Amino acid sequence: MERLLLVLPSATYRAQDFLSAARDLGVAVTVACERRAAMSAAMGERALTVSLSDPARAAEQIAERARDTPFVAIVGVDDQGVMAAALAAERLGLAHNPPAAVARTRDKAAMRRALAEARVRQPRFALLAAGVDAGAVAGQVGLPCVVKPLGLSGSRGVIRADDGEQARAAEERIRAILAAAGEPADASLLLESYLPGEEVAVEGLLRGGRLEVLAVFDKPDPLEGPYFEETLYVTPSRLPVAVLDEVEAVTARAADALGLREGPVHAELRVDGEPVSVLELAARSIGGLCSRALRFGAGVSLEQVILRHALGLGLEDIVRESTASGVMMIPIPRAGVLCAVEGQEDARAVEGIAGLEITIARGRPVVPLPDGDRYLGFLFARGPSAAAVESSLRDAHARLRIAIEPHAPELASGGRRCASC
């Protein structure tokens, strides 16, 4: 039986969905993860412990395993896994994205430089080195601006500044976020001009350098700052056809400018009337559990589409179903300890709601963006139109009652953390 390697970071939401997709396709799986305990219960000896923080070393470890257990394809899941997957596939002669191209997607400054060289429309930008006045650099880029770290993902540490003083405060906060994430606090940051307009997300698949757009999501909630916590994704997009054509064309030019050739891409773009600008482009599929909002053909999941491409299986009949769908990433309203999420059955009873997953356990600490890196959970909806899906998601979210108590320092080491737990 052919064997697939999945590079699955231990913190991913998506392990079960990818493993289910592989099982449905009848392919054997080995999982590479940085913590064996995170996968060994499900995978046994098929789990491989690798150093995802050192992608070159992880590629060596994968190549060593491949001597005894050959792989026909390697798929990296989430940002932390894509570099190791690309390097390992290159070593083993498997279909892959060029590692240099993947590296550009993992460094926001490198991405901006590559897009600028290819004349892809994007924000103005400048690097902010430690010790340089953020207010002065913000003035050069233009105000308002957005200050962000080069490597974190999911809007973590992304802060809008409307003047020089806010830019300095944003820099200080972002450096604290980097330190909390185990990253160098004195690393250079990126300053970008703030772009007004509607934001959309593109889910696509590269096949020999050609982009096939699988879905375009509207983000109905305005993302104007000071933080950029994403909530609603709804597809199909309600933008005019001509604008959607430009969204797809700009995404394809951006992927080409970065040098990507194979596999999933997830892009974030701003639309201000006719002009379309690239905010981000990742060499992976949509994060969290958001992929569950998409279905292709006879109930085929996005994960199955990705694995079928990696395995060289046919994709000619893969077309997204016509039903409108969407997902809400449930935001964490404040920091503290999660005590309860009440009203879940009321939320599930809303017409159009297809599912609700709370992904943080009771009694666990919660931290909202821009400091945190997770959502409380995910709501899914399907319906006859994008407007109906958006309405269902908002109605269901309004029925949830989220109880969070302040952190109790004396209980930080464990135990029951709040009265209702």
Q: Which residue has the higher pLDDT, 241 or 153?
A: 241
User: Which tokens in the block code for residue 25?
Assistant: 């396709």
The C-alpha atoms of residue 26 and residue 4 are separated, in whole angstroms, by: 11
* Residue 386 CA: distances (Å) to CA of 235, 251, 379, 392, 401: 6, 22, 15, 10, 25
pLDDT score, position 418 = 61
Cβ atoms 74, 27 nearer than 8 A: no
Report CA-CA distances (Å) from 335 to 28, 176, 223: 41, 16, 21
Percentage of residues in the chain having pLDDT higher than 70: 94
Give me the residue spans of the domains in the chain: 3-99, 124-193, 323-421
Give the pair of three-digit tokens for residue 142: 């233009």
Cα end-to-end span (Å), the chain? 47
DSSP code string of 82-104: HHHHHHHHHHHT-S---HHHHHH
Closest by Cα among 46, 20, 21 to 32: 46
Tokens encoding 56: 């070159």
**Which of the four pLDDT bands, split at 50, 70 and 90, describes residue 415?**
very low
CA distance 415 to 421: 10
5-14, 116-125, 333-342, range with the lowest pLDDT: 5-14
pLDDT exceeds 80 at position 297: no
Other beta carbons less than 10 A from residue 209's beta carbon: 12
Residue 409 above 60 pLDDT? no
Closest to 33 in 3D by CA, of 394, 21, 14? 14
- Give the model's pLDDT for residue 314: 77
The pLDDT of 262-288, averaged and rounded, is 95
Q: What pLDDT is recorded for position 316?
A: 72
Architecture of domain 3-99: 3-Layer(aba) Sandwich (3.40)
Query: What is the C-alpha to C-alpha distance for residues 188 and 369, in angstroms, rounded to an integer?
Result: 21
**Confidence at 36, pLDDT banded by 50, 70, 90:** low
> Both tokens of residue 109?
């400054």
**pLDDT over 90 percentage in the chain:** 82
Burial class (CB in 10 A: 0-12, 13-18, 19+), 242: exposed
Query: Range with the lowest mean pLDDT among 258-262, 272-276, 349-353?
Result: 272-276
What per-residue confidence (pLDDT) applies to 317?
Answer: 67
Tens digits of residue pLDDT in 203-213: 999 999 999 99
Convert the pLDDT of each residue in 131-153 to its tens digit. 999 999 999 999 999 999 998 88
CATH topology of domain 124-193: Dna Ligase; domain 1 (3.30.1490)
Question: Mean of the pLDDT values across residues 98-107?
Answer: 97
Most confident of 26-30, 79-83, 390-394: 390-394
**What is the model's pLDDT at position 31?**
94
pLDDT confidence of 345, banded at 50, 70, 90?
A: very high
Mean pLDDT across the stretch 188-203?
97
302-316, 335-349, 395-409: which is most confident:
335-349
pTM of the model: 0.92
> Are domains 3-99 and 124-193 of this chain identical in fold?
no
Please report which confidence band the pLDDT of residue 10 belongs to, taking 50, 70 and 90 as the band edges.
confident
Q: Tell me the CATH number for domain 323-421.
A: 3.30.470.20
